[in-house]
Amino acid sequence: MTEASSLPLAGITVVAMEQAVSAPMCTRVLADFGARVIKVENPQGGDFARDYDDVVLGQAAHFVWANRGKQSVALNLKSGSGIAVLHQLLDGADAFVSNLAPGATARLGLSPEELGKRHPQVIPVEIDGYGPGGPLSQKRAYDLLVQAESGSCAATGFPEMPAKPGPPVADISTGLYSALSIMALLLGRARGVSVGPAPSVAVSLFDTMTDIMGYPLTYTQHSGVNQQPLGMASPAVAPYGAFGTRDGQTVVLGTTNDREWQRLAREIIDRPDLAEDPRFASNSDRCAHRDELHSAIGSWCAERDLEDIQRIADQAGIGNSRYNRPSEVIAHPHLQARDRWRQVSTPNGPIEALLPPPVISGLELSMGAIPGLGEHTDVILGELGYSAEDIAGLRADGAIGDVYKAGSDHA
Q: What is the pLDDT of residues 281-300, one digit of tens each?
A: 999 999 999 999 999 999 99
- Of 295, 322, 349, the residue that ends a domain is 322
| Calpha distance 170→210 (Å, rounded) | 10
Is residue 219 a part of any domain in this protein? no
Indicate if 105 and 173 belong to the same structural domain: yes
pLDDT over 90 at 319, yes or no? yes
How many structural domains is the chain composed of?
A: 2
Indicate if 313 and 343 belong to the same structural domain: no
Indicate if 309 and 347 belong to the same structural domain: no
Is residue 234 a part of any domain in this protein? no
Dihedrals phi, psi of 142, to nearest 5 degrees: -120, 170
pLDDT over 80 at 407, yes or no? no
Indicate if 17 and 77 belong to the same structural domain: yes
Average confidence (pLDDT) over 36-50: 97
Indicate if 345 and 373 belong to the same structural domain: yes
Indicate if 347 and 310 belong to the same structural domain: no
Is residue 92 a part of any domain in this protein? yes
| Calpha distance 63→410 (Å, rounded) | 13
Q: What mean pLDDT is reported for the chain?
A: 95
pLDDT over 80 at 3, yes or no? no
Average confidence (pLDDT) over 237-245: 97
Is residue 405 a part of any domain in this protein? no
Which among 407, 397, 395 is positioned nearest to 73, based on CA atoms? 395
Which among 298, 323, 305, 297 is positioned nearest to 248, based on CA atoms? 305
Q: Could you give the count of Cα atoms lying within 13 Å of 382 in the half-sphere of its Cβ?
A: 5
Is residue 29 a part of any domain in this protein? yes
Q: Structural domain of residue 173, as residue ranges?
A: 3-213+339-397
Is residue 220 a part of any domain in this protein? no
Cβ neighbours of 46 (radius 10 Å)? 22
Instruction: Give me the torsion for CA of 364, 370, 375, 377, rounded to 10°.
Output: 50
**Dihedral sign, Cα of residue 53, residue 56, residue 59, residue 62:** negative
Chain centroid to CA 303: 39
Indicate if 94 and 132 belong to the same structural domain: yes
Indicate if 201 and 96 belong to the same structural domain: yes
Residue 2: pLDDT band (50, 70, 90) is low
| Calpha distance 169→208 (Å, rounded) | 10
pLDDT over 70 at 382, yes or no? yes
pLDDT over 90 at 408, yes or no? no
Note the pLDDT of residue 197. Answer: 79
| Calpha distance 255→266 (Å, rounded) | 13
Residue 411: pLDDT band (50, 70, 90) is very low
Indicate if 260 and 351 belong to the same structural domain: no
- Of 296, 322, 348, the residue that ends a domain is 322
Indicate if 157 and 40 belong to the same structural domain: yes
Tens of pLDDT, residue by residue over 343-353, are: 999 999 999 99
In this predicted structure, which of 202-206, 280-284, 407-411 has the lowest mean pLDDT? 407-411
Note the pLDDT of residue 1. Answer: 58
Indicate if 306 and 355 belong to the same structural domain: no
Whole-number Cα distances in Å, 321 to 251, 254, 272, 307, 374: 6, 9, 24, 10, 44
Is residue 222 a part of any domain in this protein? no
Note the pLDDT of residue 27. Answer: 98
Whichever domain contains 53, its CATH number is 3.40.50.10540
Is residue 141 a part of any domain in this protein? yes
Average confidence (pLDDT) over 47-61: 97
Higher pLDDT, 2 or 358: 358
- Of 322, 347, 377, the residue that ends a domain is 322
Tens of pLDDT, residue by residue over 152-182, are: 999 999 999 999 999 999 999 999 999 999 9
Average confidence (pLDDT) over 77-91: 97
pLDDT over 50 at 323, yes or no? yes
Q: Which residues of 73-92 are buried (b: 16+ CB within 10 A; e: fewer)?
A: bbbbbebebbbebbebbbee
Average confidence (pLDDT) over 73-96: 97
Note the pLDDT of residue 196. Answer: 77
Indicate if 69 and 128 belong to the same structural domain: yes
